[in-house]
């Protein structure tokens, strides 16, 4: 009975309300918890490392984004670390958003099971999704009205051009995705887009096509994206609309016992720049 009550509480968390509250406090940063076990400081586990980062930074950021690959690769122990990391965020930093970076999508019951795993089992507030299979594959996620779906649009990796720049009726595929999400998929007002900081002109174009959708923006920091251009081209009419993701440059700012303190210092520097 207690477990059902807790699940109901988690499902009632509204991602947009949490996002708006953080934006009102001028919090735009998201920490990607890409806890690569080969890079962790001596004496730490994935869970203890994440907990230290969360404790040191949660008052400064809008969201945490664990990437499932770094946990799934460790088998059952990694999955347990992922679950406990999210539970720790819910207990320690309930006003921050939990974005599960899973890039899911499939057909029928498979997609419904992915959605249940993300939102009910792992208790995330949002998930990243792949649009390639169309709205049918995305719909089970969108049906969770309180939960957010950040859909890949123009990603930050160098190979993104291979498909995302292909022309569809005279416009690039990434722009068609942005328009489709903004006008057709967002009926529950719970969609966002993943738009990389490494392509600022595309970011500008996508913001025009999707003026009010929240953008999850990877690529600032280690990948070389420019923070000033992200702010200039990516914000919406209210001056918000952004979750700017930082991962390696924050997590591994130090490899010593001061790693959490160093992460906080880096977050403070970026916050001051914003």
- Are 239 and 207 within 8 A, CB to CB? no
Give residue 12's pLDDT.
85
Q: Which CATH class, in words, describes the domain spanning 2-273?
A: alpha beta
User: CA-to-CA distance for 100 and 147, rounded, in angstroms?
Assistant: 11
User: CA-to-CA distance for 106 and 109, rounded, in angstroms?
Assistant: 8
Share of the chain above pLDDT 70, in %: 96
State yes or no: is 103 an active-site residue.
yes
Give residue 108's pLDDT.
83
Three-state secondary-structure class, residue 122: coil
The torsion angles phi and psi of 172, rounded to 5 degrees, stand at -65, 150
Give residue 7's pLDDT.
66
Question: Which regions of the chain are under pLDDT 70?
Answer: 1-8, 221-223
Q: Please identify which residue in the block is written with the tokens 């899973």.
A: 102
To 10 degrees, the CA torsion angle through 122, 126, 129, 131? 140
Q: For residue 191, what is the enclosing H or E element?
A: strand 191-195
Token pair recorded at residue 194: 């993943």
Give residue 156's pLDDT.
87
Q: Taken in order 92, 31, 40, 151, is the CA torsion positive or negative? A: positive
Kindly name the residue from 21, 83, 84, 103 that is annotated as catalytic.
103
Give residue 6's pLDDT.
67
Give residue 11's pLDDT.
75
- Are 8 and 142 within 8 A, CB to CB? no
């Amino acid at each position: 009975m207690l477990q059902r009550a807790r699940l109901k509480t988690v499902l009632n968390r509204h991602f947009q309300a949490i996002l708006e509250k953080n934006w009102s406090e001028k919090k735009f940063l998201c920490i990607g918890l890409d806890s690569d076990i080969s890079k962790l400081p001596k004496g730490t586990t994935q869970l203890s490392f994440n907990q230290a980062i969360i404790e040191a930074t949660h008052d400064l950021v809008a969201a945490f984004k664990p990437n499932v690959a770094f946990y799934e690769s460790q088998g059952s122990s990694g999955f347990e670390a992922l679950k406990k990391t999210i539970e720790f965020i819910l207990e320690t930093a309930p006003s921050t958003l939990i974005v599960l970076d899973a890039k899911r999508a499939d057909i029928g019951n498979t997609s419904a099971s992915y959605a249940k795993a993300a939102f009910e089992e792992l208790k995330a507030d949002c998930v990243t999704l792949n649009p390639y299979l169309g709205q049918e594959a995305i719909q089970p996620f969108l049906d969770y009205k309180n939960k957010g779906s950040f859909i890949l649009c123009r990603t930050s990796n160098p190979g993104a051009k291979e498909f995302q720049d292909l022309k569809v009726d005279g416009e690039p595929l990434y722009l068609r995705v942005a328009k489709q999400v903004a006008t057709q998929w967002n009926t529950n007002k719970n969609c966002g887009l993943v738009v990389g900081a490494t392509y600022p002109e595309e970011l500008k174009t996508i913001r025009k096509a999707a003026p009010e959708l929240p953008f999850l923006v990877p690529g600032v920091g280690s990948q070389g994206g420019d923070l000033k251009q992200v702010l200039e081209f990516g914000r919406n009419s209210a001056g918000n609309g952004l979750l700017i993701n930082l991962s390696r440059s924050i997590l591994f700012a130090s490899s010593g016992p001061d790693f959490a303190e160093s992460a906080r210092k880096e977050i403070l520097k970026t916050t001051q720049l914003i």
